[in-house]
Amino acid sequence: MADIIQLLPDHVANQIAAGEVVQRPSSVVKELIENAIDAEASIIKLIVKDAGKTLVQVIDDGKGMSVTDARLSFERHATSKIRTADDLFQLQTKGFRGEALASIAAIAHVELKTKQLQDEVGTSIVIEGSNITSQDVVVTPKGTSISVKNLFFNIPARRNFLKSNAVELRHIIDEFHRVALAHPNISFLFYNNGSEIFNLPVSNYRQRIVNIFGGKTNEKLVPVSEDTEVLKIAGFVGKPEFAKKTRGEQYFFVNDRFIKSAYLNHAIGSAFDGLLKNGLHPSYFLYLTVNTQSIDINIHPTKTEIKFDDEHTMYALLRSAVKHSLGQFNIAPVLDFERDPNLDTPYSYNQKEINIPPAIEVDRTFNPFIEDYKSGKQITAFKKQTINNWDSLYVGLESKGTKTEQDFSEVHFESNNNSESLFDDNKLDTVQTTYQLHNKYIVSTIKSGMMIMDQHRAHQRILYEDFLENLTVKGASSQQLLFPLLLHFSKQEIEIIKQLKEDLEHTGFIFSNVTNETIEITGVPISIPESEVSIILEQLISDVENEVPDSNFSVTDLLAKSLAKSLAIKNGQPLKKSEQEHLVNSLFACKEPNVSPTNRTTFVTMSVDELDKKFI
C-alpha cells in the first residue's frame, strides 16, 4: 500500500497557521504593535484604511533590523525572544511564537522597511502570499515600517466572512486600547482613512485612561493599590453610580499584557456586591504584576488567557484590594472605629498635676412655691398659675360658639363634577377577559379557549413596528426638554452616534450640539422619559458595536430593535386591566404578532379540548 502521509508545503502550512493567528484585521494590528513595543519604540503610529481590509500600517522608531534579521523575520518559528524551552516561563516580551509575520505574509501583500541606528541605509522587502518578490536597499528613518495590504486576497472565503467596516474598525480600536492602556510610557497615534482618531502622548496610567475614554472619566475613577509578595495590584475601578449595562470598560493587565479572565472578573463583581443594581457591570482598569514563573501564557493562540499557579490567592487578594479601596474612599459604607486624634491628651500634659475641680455652690433652700424671703412676694410657678386660672380659658366661648355654628351653616364646599373615567374598573370587571399572571404573562380568553401572552416580548413587537414605521415614514413627534440634556461619551461612541444621528432624529431625538466627547439633546421621543435617555443610548451603542449588520441587513432595523428592547415593559411590572386589554389589542394589530423582533414566541394558545384532556 502506498504511503499517504506527506509534509505540507510551507505556503499551505503558513495559511493554516494564519487561521489561528490572523482572524481579522485587528489581529494584524495586535501583532504588529506588539512587535513595535518589543523593539523598544517610543512613538508608534497606526494607519488603517477601510477598517484594515485595504491597509494596516505600523510605523515605529524602535531598534530596527539588520538585513539578515529582516529576511528571517518572515520565516516560520523565527524569533529573537526564545532560545530554550525554559524561556517560555520567563517571558517579558509580547511576540515570541515566531509565526506572526510568516502567517500575515501568507495571506496578504506585505512591505517592510527597516533600519538600525548605526546603519546608513535600510532594507526593503516586498512579499506577496509568502513569496518574496523584491529585496532592496532603501533610505528610511531609524525603526521599522510594515504595511499589510489586501488582507486575505488569496483566500476569498475568509475575506467574505469579514464583517462590515464599522464592526472591523471597532475590533481594531479595542486592540489599540488594550495595547495603549498597558503602555502609557509610549506615545501612540491612530489614523483611519486619513483622519486622526487618537493622539496619545506619554503619560501615567490615569492620564492615559482619560485621554482614551474622555475627560469625564477622571471623576469616575477610584484608585486601587496593593503590594504583596505574591501579587502587586495597581490601577482604578469605576464608581458604582457610573456602572453600565455593558462590559466595555473592563481591562485586566498581567505584566503589561491584556488578558481575559472570567474568574478574576467575578472577584471584582464580588467586591461590588450590594453596590450595583442587577444587570449593571463595574468598570475597572487593573494592572497586576506577578512572578513570570508563576504563570503560563502559552495556553491560547491569541495569548489573552493566562494560567495562574494559585488562582484562589489571586482571587482573594484582588477582591480584598478592590473592597478596601471602595471603603477607603467612602464609596462603600464601612464601620469606622478610628479614634479622633483631636481628643487625645497632649504629651506636654503627661507630668502635669491634676487641678482641683472648681466648687459648685447650690442654694438648696430655693423653692419657687414659697414666699421669697427677701421681697416677701408670692412666687407661683407657671403650671400652678395656669391651673388656678383655668376658668379664664373658657370666657366668651358661648357667644363664639353660636357665631361658629352660623358660620359653618354658610360654608360652601367646592366639589368636582363626577365624570366617568375612560376606563371604569367596575364596568370592566363585569366584561373582563384578561388576567395578569405573576406580573409576567397576560391570560386572555378567545373563542377556542385561552391565550397566554408574554408581556415583555409582546410590547417589544408593538414598539418595534412603531419605531420602524417612524424611521421609514420619518414623521415621529418629539417632546421638547425644559433644559438641554448633556451626555458624555468616549470618542468611538460619539462616532457611532454620529452615524445614527439622522435615523435617531426620525424617531424623535433632537440634537443641538455634538462634540468629540459630549452630546447635547433638546428633544426626545414622547414615549421615552428624560431619565432613561442615557441608558437607552448606551444600550443602543452596545447593540451597534456587537450586532452591526452586514450589507444585507438594515441599520434602521437594528435601531428599531434596540429602542424597542430598551423601552418595552419589563417582566414583573404590574399592569392595570385597561393596560392589559390595550396590550392585547395592539399586539394583534401588528403585522407579525406571533414573534418578537428577535424571533421569539410572543404568545401561546390552549384550546378547550386541550384543557378538557387535562381533567381526564
56-65, 335-344, 474-483 — which is least confidently predicted? 335-344
* Co-location of 165 and 294 in the same domain: no
Other Cβ atoms less than 10 A from the Cβ of 227: the count is 10
* Co-location of 152 and 112 in the same domain: yes
CA distance 100 to 137: 24
Helices 455-473 + 555-567 axis angle, to 10? 140
Residue 375 confidence (pLDDT):
53
Q: Is 69 exposed, middle or buried (0-12, 13-18, 19+ CB in 10 A)?
A: middle
> What are the φ and ψ backbone dihedral angles of 106, each rounded to 5 degrees?
-75, -20
User: How would you list the strands of the sheet with 449-454, edge to edge?
Assistant: 434-437, 441-445, 449-454, 603-607
Chain-centroid distance, C-alpha 307 = 26
- Considering the chain, what is the average pLDDT of its residues? 80
Residues 176-233 pLDDT 10s = 999 999 999 999 999 998 888 889 999 999 999 999 988 888 888 999 999 988 889 9
* Co-location of 258 and 151 in the same domain: no
CA distance 605 to 616: 20
* Co-location of 22 and 39 in the same domain: yes
Residue 498, all three cell numbers: 454620529
Alpha-carbon distances, residue 131 vs 104, 114, 149, 393 (angstroms): 12, 19, 14, 114
Residue 356 in any domain: the answer is no
Residue 209 confidence (pLDDT):
92
Where do the H-state alpha helices sit in 191-261? 205-213
Residue 353, all three cell numbers: 498635676
* Co-location of 182 and 296 in the same domain: no
235 Ramachandran zone, left/alpha/beta (phi>0; psi -120 to 50) = left
Where is the domain boundary, 306, 328, 350? 328
* Co-location of 42 and 191 in the same domain: yes
6-10, 112-116, 144-148, 425-429 — which is least confidently predicted? 425-429
pLDDT exceeds 70 at position 416: no
Taken as a whole, the chain contains a residue count of 616
**Domain CATH for 321:** 3.30.230.10
Q: Which residue has the higher pLDDT, 58 or 276?
A: 58
Range of the domain at 465: 434-605
* Co-location of 215 and 175 in the same domain: no
Residues 159-176 pLDDT 10s = 888 887 878 888 899 899
Other Cβ atoms less than 10 A from the Cβ of 109: the count is 18
Residues 277-304 pLDDT 10s = 877 888 999 999 988 777 776 655 566 7
* Co-location of 43 and 124 in the same domain: yes
**Domain CATH for 569:** 3.30.1370.100
When pLDDT is averaged across residues 361-370 and rounded to a whole number, the result is 76
pTM of the model as a whole: 0.68
Residues 308-327 pLDDT 10s = 778 888 899 999 999 988 88
**Domain CATH for 138:** 3.30.565.10
Q: What is the dihedral of CA 368, 371, 377, 381, to 10 degrees?
A: 30
Amino acid at 447: K
Q: What is the number of domains present in the chain?
A: 3
pLDDT exceeds 80 at position 371: no
Where is the domain boundary, 200, 215, 234? 200
Residues 95-144 pLDDT 10s = 545 577 888 888 899 999 999 999 899 999 999 888 889 999 999 999 99
Confidence of residue 550 (pLDDT cuts 50, 70, 90): very low
Residue 289, all three cell numbers: 504584576
